[in-house]
Structure 1
Amino acid sequence: MGRHTWARDAEALFAASRRGVITVAHLESLGVPQRTSYRRCHPGRPWQRLLPGVILLRTGEPTRRQLIEGALLYCGDQAVITGLESCRRQGLRRPAVPGEPLHLLLPAHLKTTSSGYVLVERTTRMPAPVRIDGLPLAPAVRSVLDECRRLTERAPVRALLAEAVQQLEVAPADLSTELENGSTRGSALPRAALQEIAHGARSAAEAEAMALVRRTGLPDPLWNFVLHDEQGRYVATPDAWWDEVALAWEIDSFEFHFGQPGYAATLARNNRYAAAGVSVVQTVPSQLRTEPRAVVAHLVSAYRAAAARPRPPVRLAS
């Protein structure tokens, strides 16, 4: 493209870009002087600057894919996307949050630093990328833990790990192995959450429930075991079960138990509990966070009431 041809052939210029995103260096090779590229990014002009040396050939809000292409152009060919963006593109059902950074991994010897919406992490443990829709993604196990290491509160870490196990079908053992092999920075919270998941928590809510049970002073319950009545018929798979008094605890929320078919299934389950003579406490996840003392008191009262009556003839599946 000649030095001034680009001004008359915007289509060809766009075709040389990645979804409208292009570097200033590439523009210069096409005949667009650097000073012209940056001048056309001034307010009221037709382009915009996404990152140092990276231009979007249009105004208006960039799409998520254009932001990603800009980040990859900024970081170079060895960059790998990790964190939440990588998790979403591998199946995590969690919407992007405005202002959420795009986390990229780069080999440790490179000097590129974080800028704008791009969080750059240089590492000696570069993963082999998984390519989805043309994008280089860190494997799901690495992506999940790279995000967890950045979090500073227990609840979001629990939620992300539980979602990864449920939605991405990531094995807890693989998460533990990656955690052991990776940096120790920020590993304490995911390590504790993984222990809860390994003990039977299928969701973030159940992991929170496990932590709350320790405040009750009650014996440790069993988690997610199948319960039968005296005829051997299926009753339920309670989230928590105190076998010595036949008390079930259910954390009822479609938000966490994606496989439940709905309200009718919950009613049917509760009817089976009633027919088998089982006491059941029902809690929604929000109560675990907003009313922990009330939940503890309710569990303790229910346990004492269950202990005061004859135990019904139910048993755990062998």
Structure 2
Amino acid sequence: MNHNTPLSPRPLSHLSDAQPRVLSTSQLRAHGVANAEINQQCRPGGAWQQFLPGVCLLHPGPPTSEERLHAVLMYAARSSLREPAPRGQGIPAQPAATEPGAQEPPTPQRYPDAMITGLAALALYGFSSAPSLLSLDRIDVLVPRLRRLRSTGCARIVRTPALPKPEQVTGLPVAPVPRALADAVAELSEAGIVRRLLTEAVRGGHCEPTAVVRELTQARLLNRPHVADAVDTLLAEGRAIAEDHLYRMVREHGLPDPVWNVDLRLPGGPHLGGLDAYWPEQAVALELDTRAPRQGPWQDDDALWSEYARKREHLERLGITVIHVTPRKLRDAMEQQAAVVRTALMAACDRDPAAYVVVLPR
């Protein structure tokens, strides 16, 4: 038998029954299926169909949502998906089941340098405000900027200079929520949809508002009025959730009640800054760190932190202990943050008395 000898029907039958039912043409060739057979099977009325360039669907009917996702990822990563196999053989048999308690071998990255993003990613994360996968005409796939690919069919190529680390959702590489949101918002013009997506991201605990705003800033989307308005709603939502966690921390961990949302001033002097909670007897202040980069991608976290640092230094020179708490820490490590506050309150008796300050409602 030479390399041009037609294959028997057996390997093709085996391929048609194999899972998954989406394979690249390079994978098919690696499994011994010649180009002529691929073309024959993908002709109108054939058993297969060429769904995207270089990607075949091994049945004639419409693809499922899962098959569309795999096909888009395969199209974007197909240059890295050549799997050598002995000539003339069908799909290799599935590996034997792992014995209970045995360590499974490491799984190689299935779709290198490609991940689902945009609305499809949000649907995979379970966003109720995102359209269903079946209703999406196009699926966004994130790839490195220098990849030579074009959008085609249901695959829309989104480029980035640096790929984020993907999350694994239902076994698929998916962009982190903040990046997926930014890629979705870039294609949306309806203010209500943008606002619902951003609000659900925070309310559903998918990510912090600052991470979303950072991605929107880097994508230069905050100059769009409907996006800027949605971000204002997002930040307000994020702060409300963080304040609720702060109230819970004081209540559930037995901390003394502070005065809430106050401004401090020196008697007859300048304004010292606003605080989320203040314990006057112990001169302990707490401030939620809800920084968000709004002015542009050139503004980094160091510049944003400077305002907090100046206020903190001024207050501490007056003998006031300042505690900064992030919304994430309040959400994920509330007991630990309560211990920090309790320690600061207990240490007050060992410090020199703080300067007298005027406490005003904010």
Normalised by the shorter chain, which TM-score bucket?
A: 0.5 to 0.7
- Could you list the per-position Cα deviations for residues 181-219 of structure 1 after superposition, in whole angstroms to 9, with x for gaps in the alignment? x221575232321112323499xxxxxxxxxxxxxxxxx
Contact 1:149 1:186 in 2 (8 A): no
Does the alignment pair 1:183 with 2:219?
yes
Task: Give the TM-score normalised by the residue count of structure 2.
Answer: 0.51
Q: Residue type of the partner of 1:9?
A: P
Query: Which range is displaced more, 170-179 or 71-80?
Result: 170-179
Contact 2:120 2:136 in 1 (8 A): no
Q: Residue type of the partner of 2:123?
A: R
Structure 1 residues 97 and 9: CA distance shift in structure 2, 3 A? closer
Hey, what does 1:107 align to over in structure 2? 144
Superposition deviation, residue 120 in structure 1: 0.2
- Could you list the per-position Cα deviations for residues 31-75 of structure 1 after superposition, in whole angstroms to 9, with x for gaps in the alignment? 222232122112211101110111011111111111111111110
Q: Residue type of the partner of 1:183?
A: A
Q: Residue type of the partner of 1:146?
A: D
Work out the CA distance in 2 between the residues paired with 1:149 and 1:63: 26
Work out the CA distance in 1 between the residues paired with 2:75 and 2:120: 17
Structure 1 residues 161 and 200: CA distance shift in structure 2, 3 A? closer
Contact 2:177 2:206 in 1 (8 A): no
Structure 1 residues 195 and 133: CA distance shift in structure 2, 3 A? same
Contact 2:21 2:59 in 1 (8 A): yes
Q: Percent identity?
A: 28
Work out the CA distance in 1 between the residues paired with 2:237 and 2:202: 12
Hey, what does 2:10 align to over in structure 1? 8
Q: Residue type of the partner of 1:70?
A: A
Work out the CA distance in 2 between the residues paired with 1:56 and 1:12: 14
Superposition deviation, residue 25 in structure 1: 1.7
Structure 1 residues 149 and 85: CA distance shift in structure 2, 3 A? same
Q: Which runs of 5+ in 2 are unaligned?
A: 78-111, 240-246, 248-361
Work out the CA distance in 1 between the residues paired with 2:167 and 2:12: 34
Hey, what does 1:157 align to over in structure 2? 194
Structure 1 residues 97 and 70: CA distance shift in structure 2, 3 A? closer
Does the alignment pair 1:90 with 2:130?
no
Contact 1:107 1:126 in 2 (8 A): yes
Hey, what does 2:50 align to over in structure 1? 49
Within a 5 Å distance, the mapping from 1:30-69 to structure 2 comes to 30-69=31-70
Superposition deviation, residue 24 in structure 1: 1.2
Work out the CA distance in 2 between the residues paired with 1:11 and 1:167: 46
Q: Residue type of the partner of 2:220?
A: T
Q: Residue type of the partner of 1:83?
A: G
Superposition deviation, residue 125 in structure 1: 3.0
Q: Residue type of the partner of 2:114?
A: A
Report SS of the residue matched to 2:152: coil
Work out the CA distance in 2 between the residues paired with 1:155 and 1:6: 57
Report SS of the residue matched to 2:133: coil
1:148 alignment partner, one of 167, 170, 185: 185
Report SS of the residue matched to 2:45: coil
Report SS of the residue matched to 2:42: coil
> What's the RMSD between the two structures over aligned residues?
2.8
Superposition deviation, residue 168 in structure 1: 4.6
Report SS of the residue matched to 2:201: helix
Hey, what does 1:308 align to over in structure 2? none
Hey, what does 1:247 align to over in structure 2? none
Structure 1 residues 38 and 191: CA distance shift in structure 2, 3 A? farther
**Structure label with greater radius of gyration:** 2
Structure 1 residues 131 and 102: CA distance shift in structure 2, 3 A? same
1:196 alignment partner, one of 221, 233, 252: 233
Q: Residue type of the partner of 1:148?
A: V
Q: Which runs of 5+ in 1 are unaligned?
A: 203-225, 227-317
Superposition deviation, residue 29 in structure 1: 2.2
Structure 1 residues 84 and 173: CA distance shift in structure 2, 3 A? same
Hey, what does 1:134 align to over in structure 2? 171
1:167 alignment partner, one of 204, 219, 236: 204
Superposition deviation, residue 79 in structure 1: 0.5
Contact 1:18 1:69 in 2 (8 A): no
Contact 1:149 1:190 in 2 (8 A): no
Contact 1:91 1:167 in 2 (8 A): no
Superposition deviation, residue 30 in structure 1: 2.1
Hey, what does 1:81 align to over in structure 2? 116
Contact 2:22 2:55 in 1 (8 A): yes
Report SS of the residue matched to 1:120: strand
